[in-house]
Amino acid sequence: MLADEADTPSAPTASKDRVDPQTPNPFASSISRDALLAYTYHLYHSQNRQVPGMTPIPLNCTPPIIANVEQVCRLHILPLLVILRSLHPQDTAILLLMACTYHASGDFDSSLTLSREILRLEPNSAEAMCNIGTTMMSIGQHDQAYEWWWKALQVRPIYWDAVDHLLNFLLPLAQQTDNIQHRSILYARALDVCSFVERKAVAGNGRLLLPVPTHQLHRLQKVFFTGATIRMMNPDNISDTSRDYVRALELVIYPPTPNSDNDAYTMRELILAIFVAGYLIQSTSVDPVSVEILEILGLPGDSAPIDALALAQSGFDVFRAVRVSGDRLVSALLNLAGNALPFLLLLPEHVPRVPMMLFPGSMGVLPGICIRAPDSSTLLMPPDDVRKQANLMTSSVLLALAKRYQDLSSADVAIPGLTGTLNVNYSLSILFYYLALALSPSPPTYNNMGIVLSTMAYTSSHTTDHGERREFSGPALARVYYTAGLQMDPSHPHLLTNLGSLHKDEGNLEEAMKWAFALEFCQYASLI
């Protein structure tokens, strides 16, 4: 009787996952064995969970001492990559790492050969193009390096390694040359790099054209910042300079996708929102917010003091209130100071509250670096390193704008999004300083803030966090900011110098001598 077909044992089938016993063992050589064993030792020791009393290395075995990167590449990494390549000869990920390893070991010819092999397999490999450029730079072929980096950038416009290579090559050359014409050419080329990335990555309305991950948004901001810095060298490019700074800021105040055009806030709304936030924060029952402004913002119009943070936590959206107000808010603010934004003087302890007032939906974090939760309007907070990088870059842009408007004080200038011109009289610079300090506090920023305040003949009332009511003139408030900066860096020379000078100008010679002595002591200590 014939057995049923279903009951017949099937013959073993060949599997691509099985190793053919006739195939030579790629790990048979002592070099590959030692490389793999060294890597395994590294994994074992890196766990910090070794079993007490267990000895992982034979006592009569002395592991080789690896003195430098070249030896690590030659003895440990390359043998493994050679084996992997023999098993997967057309895997570009293996070839890419192998090219980098050859470069790190100083074998530039082999690195170039492998990178060109990658381009044969993948003609649009931006990584291989960039690596060829880096290797060309290492062998002194600077012009070819520049061309290869440009090719990589044209394939992938937000390839930050290519951007950095190009700018780090061009800008130092421009700064070092004494030939004015050659310097202009180099700066123009660097500006071409920035402009190319800007056009490819961001639309005219500020929306992203390419999917820039939130943790890389500060890199795109830096491109706009660098472009603006280069344009500042030419007085004819002032409007383009402002545009680049504005774009850099709008990138991080836009909420993450998906979003609506109603949430795409502009520089105009940022300026007004910072002022409103600070105005609400400093308000007291003695010095309340104007009833007219409260009504424009849709808030109760009485003289009761406003708890700004409680207001933000209750769902009040400063940006939306500013947008809905149209030109009424602008007119009301200008009426307070006569064709200029009023002076807004905050104590250092009040400055950190500004971001929470501006961005309550993201708990004071720049919304552009947050991630929208799936099927929800909730914004997920970014990792600390992403937040710090974006804060630092945004602060740098704000400080550049603050310095620009500080230099234009008492002049009538055009403000983004506002009709006509305004007298900026330090009021606009101070707004930018506040947000810059709140996002990334630093001794130099406290110092610059103090310099601006020390020249202001203006007095305002404040209630400290301890409930103390005090009147502050510009110089008195400058002293508070200098002191706050010294709490971060007690030996900062500019803060010590300016604080001493402020006391001297006020006739307080004893305090002036105290800070002069502190400066001399710090300078002496730095020489020891």
pLDDT in tens, 514-523: 777 677 766 6
pLDDT of residue 8: 41
Band of residue 294 on the pLDDT scale cut at 50, 70, 90: confident
Instruction: Fill in the DSSP letter of residue 75.
Output: I
Q: Please check whether residue 96 lies inside any domain of the structure.
A: yes
Number of separate domains in the chain = 4
Domain's final residue, options 140, 155, 170: 155
Q: What global pTM score does this model have? A: 0.84
Q: Please check whether residue 61 lies inside any domain of the structure.
A: no
Q: What is the pLDDT of residues 458-509, one digit of tens each?
A: 666 656 655 566 677 788 899 999 999 999 998 888 898 888 888 888 778 7
pLDDT of residue 116: 97
pLDDT of residue 457: 72
- Is 237 or 185 the better-scoring residue by pLDDT? 185
pLDDT of residue 458: 67
Mean pLDDT of the 365-380 span: 85
Backbone angles phi, psi at 301, to 5 degrees: -95, 70
Q: Are residues 398 and 285 in the same domain?
A: yes
Q: Are residues 193 and 77 in the same domain?
A: no
Please state the three-class secondary structure of 489-521 as a single string. Answer: CCCCHHHHHHHHHHHHHCCCHHHHHHHHHHHHH
Q: What is the pLDDT of residues 54-109, one digit of tens each?
A: 656 676 766 665 567 677 777 778 888 888 888 888 999 989 988 998 998 899 99
Q: Please check whether residue 204 lies inside any domain of the structure.
A: yes
Mean pLDDT of the 233-246 span: 76
pLDDT of residue 255: 80
Q: Are residues 144 and 173 in the same domain?
A: no
Q: Are residues 456 and 504 in the same domain?
A: yes
pLDDT of residue 47: 60
Q: Are residues 137 and 168 in the same domain?
A: no
Band of residue 410 on the pLDDT scale cut at 50, 70, 90: low
Q: Are residues 183 and 148 in the same domain?
A: no
Domain's final residue, options 223, 252, 281: 252
Dist CA 457 CA 506 (whole Å): 14
pLDDT of residue 462: 58
Closest CA to 526 of 443, 511, 518, 486: 518
CB of 56 closer than 8 Å to CB of 37: no
Tokens coding 132: 């060829």
Q: Are residues 181 and 222 in the same domain?
A: yes
Tokens coding 54: 């267990």
Dist CA 80 CA 37 (whole Å): 11
- Is 72 or 356 the better-scoring residue by pLDDT? 356
Q: Please check whether residue 339 lies inside any domain of the structure.
A: yes
pLDDT of residue 155: 96
pLDDT of residue 303: 54
Dist CA 106 CA 95 (whole Å): 16
CB of 253 closer than 8 Å to CB of 367: yes
Q: Please check whether residue 33 lies inside any domain of the structure.
A: no
CATH number at residue 522: 1.25.40.10
| Residue whose pair of structure tokens reads 């023999």 in the numeric block | 86
Q: What is the pLDDT of residues 173-191, one digit of tens each?
A: 999 999 999 999 999 999 9
Domain's final residue, options 375, 402, 433: 433
- Helix axis angle for 78-87 and 30-46, nearest 10°, is 110
- Say whether 438 sits in a helix, a strand or coil: helix
Instruction: State the residue range of the domain holding 219.
Output: 157-252
pLDDT of residue 12: 42
321-324: long-range contacts at Cβ-Cβ below 8 A with a sequence spacing of 24 or more?
321/276, 321/297, 322/269, 322/272, 322/273, 322/276, 322/297, 323/265, 323/269, 324/298
Q: Please check whether residue 43 lies inside any domain of the structure.
A: no
Query: Which residues fall within 8 angstroms of residue 324, CB to CB, at 6 or more apart?
Result: 298
Q: Are residues 215 and 362 in the same domain?
A: no
Band of residue 1 on the pLDDT scale cut at 50, 70, 90: very low
pLDDT of residue 309: 74
